[in-house]
């Protein structure tokens, strides 16, 4: 094995990503709180409960952990349902709570990145079906302006709506997450309204804070044809990619939202409304043409063969897909932040291998002088993972939900070593995943 070190730029941000509903606890004014109570909604009938008790103040200890581990940034989300629990009624105490959090990050030397909407919506908004009717556009603009005014003195990196492609698909097409509908036509209307809401928020943030950087985090899943060169597999893979992964970013680039049938929908107000690409990568899909599967655009997906599956079989570690995702992001010629990347793994061995292999792909992109400015690992501490409840553990720190005790996993020490040095070395690989040494640093 060769002795070598892969260096990242000294200004590169090393952080973790979190989401309000998943870590705060007792978000009782959110639509997801009602969804949790529905039979069969969450695996084993589990509940978010206290989650990581950030609303109770444990964010301070977790921020201390991140700072002590050498992290230089942290992504969090604000909960719309806490800030505006009733339509047009603002909770200034909740806003002050978030102000204290972003100030707390700054005091610890951590750059905050703030997301305005991470899946959960206020109950009143959901009851009025605002994402479906389009009423959400003006409401989200108002909310974005309120938050930017309150937090803008401490925050320069913003995300508007987390994973709009996942939000649209899993809630209105697949029907797993609230409001649990299965209607492709409605899902596409929601997609257009999400895009308009993002554009309105983008302009509202910039009106308050002209120098801000605003992005739209996209869940990017490269799609590989099961039989390369076979036209139908190629078509199915390309179609699924364009109508899921690339849908929103392409619409921002062109002002037109693709549809499976018929001409694209003109959304001119969205054109040019992102200052950076917010890339979220977990895994890739292999796609096989299947005429019997119209619900997935005649393409049947599976995880890449031979890839190492996580504890639930939900994701597979496929580092080559991360490089493909970064290459896709680079073609927009905007700065890139990796706003989520991680894998669920209680035992933590897979997570260590995942980190090392994926960060090597990230280094390749940086080494090509692609403008990648930061990496946010999902996640700092185990959190409530939607329909998978507490079964899917992504944290660098393990969480005991009964006692709220955090325990560092070996991957927390590994990531700390990388963040502190801004580098990925053969010594680290030899220490944490020696089986990878020959492949990552061949002699």
How many structural domains does the chain have? Answer: 1
**Residue 318: its pLDDT value, please?**
98
- pLDDT-derived band of residue 443, with 50, 70 and 90 as boundaries? confident
For the stretch 8-18, pLDDT in tens is 999 999 999 99
* % of residues, the chain, pLDDT over 90: 98
Residues 6+ apart with CB under 8 A from 123: 29, 30, 31, 33, 34, 81
The band of 335, judged by pLDDT with boundaries at 50, 70 and 90, is very high
Q: What is the CATH number of the domain that holds 26?
A: 3.20.20.80
Name the band, by pLDDT with cuts 50, 70 and 90, for residue 296: confident
The mean per-residue pLDDT over the stretch 272-298 comes to: 96
The answer on pLDDT for 306 being more than 70 is: yes
132-186: per-residue pLDDT in tens? 999 999 999 999 999 999 999 999 999 999 999 999 999 999 999 999 999 999 9
Q: Please state, for a pLDDT cut of 70, what percent of the chain lies above it.
A: 100
Averaged pLDDT for residues 121-125: 98
pLDDT band for 1, please (50, 70, 90 cuts): low
| pLDDT, tens digit (0-9, with 9 covering 90-100), for 36-86 | 999 999 999 999 999 999 999 999 999 999 999 999 999 999 999 999 999
pLDDT at 48: 98
Average pLDDT over residues 22-40: 98
Could you tell me the residue range of the domain that residue 409 belongs to? 5-440
pTM of the predicted model as reported, rounded to 2 decimal places: 0.98
| pLDDT tens profile 229-245 | 999 999 999 999 999 99
């Amino acid at each position: 094995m060769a002795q070598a070190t892969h260096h990242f730029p000294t200004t590169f941000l090393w952080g973790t990503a979190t989401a309000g509903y998943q870590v705060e606890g007792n978000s009782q004014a959110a639509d997801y709180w009602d969804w949790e109570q529905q039979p069969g909604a969450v695996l084993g009938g589990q509940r978010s409960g206290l989650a990581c008790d950030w609303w109770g103040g444990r964010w301070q200890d977790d921020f201390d952990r991140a700072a002590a581990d050498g992290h230089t940034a942290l992504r969090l989300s604000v909960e719309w349902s806490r800030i505006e629990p009733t339509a047009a009624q603002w909770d200034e105490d909740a806003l002050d709570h978030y102000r204290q959090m972003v100030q707390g990050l700054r005091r610890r030397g951590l750059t905050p990145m703030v997301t305005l909407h991470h899946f959960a919506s206020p109950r009143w908004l959901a009851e009025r079906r605002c994402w479906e009717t389009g009423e959400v556009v003006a409401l989200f603009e108002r909310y974005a302006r309120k938050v930017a005014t309150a937090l803008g003195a401490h925050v320069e990196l913003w995300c508007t709506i987390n994973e709009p492609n996942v939000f649209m698909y899993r809630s209105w097409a697949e029907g797993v997450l609230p409001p649990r509908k299965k209607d492709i036509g409605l899902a596409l209307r929601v997609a257009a309204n999400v895009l308009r809401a993002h554009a309105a928020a983008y302009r509202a943030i910039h009106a308050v804070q002209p120098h801000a950087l605003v992005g739209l985090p996209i869940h990017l899943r490269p799609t590989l044809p099961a039989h390369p060169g076979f036209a139908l597999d190629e078509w199915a893979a390309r179609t699924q990619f364009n109508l899921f992964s690339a849908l929103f970013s392409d619409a921002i680039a062109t002002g037109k939202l693709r549809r499976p049938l018929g001409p694209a929908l003109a959304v001119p107000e969205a054109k040019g409304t992102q200052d950076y690409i917010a890339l979220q990568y977990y895994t890739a899909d292999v796609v096989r043409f299947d005429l019997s599967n119209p619900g997935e655009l005649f393409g049947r997906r599976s995880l890449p063969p031979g890839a190492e599956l996580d504890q639930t079989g939900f994701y597979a570690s496929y580092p080559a897909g991360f490089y493909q995702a970064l290459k896709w992001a680079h073609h927009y010629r905007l700065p890139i932040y990796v706003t989520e990347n991680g894998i669920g793994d209680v035992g933590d061995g897979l997570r260590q291998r995942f980190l090392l292999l994926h960060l090597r792909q990230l280094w390749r992109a940086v080494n090509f002088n692609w403008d990648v400015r930061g990496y946010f690992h999902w996640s700092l501490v185990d959190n409530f993972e939607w329909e998978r409840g507490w079964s899917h553990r992504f944290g660098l720190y393990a969480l005991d939900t009964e006692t709220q005790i955090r325990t560092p996993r070996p991957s927390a020490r590994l990531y700390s070593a990388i963040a502190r040095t801004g580098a990925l070395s053969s010594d680290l690989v030899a220490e944490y995943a020696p089986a990878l040494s020959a492949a990552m640093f061949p002699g």
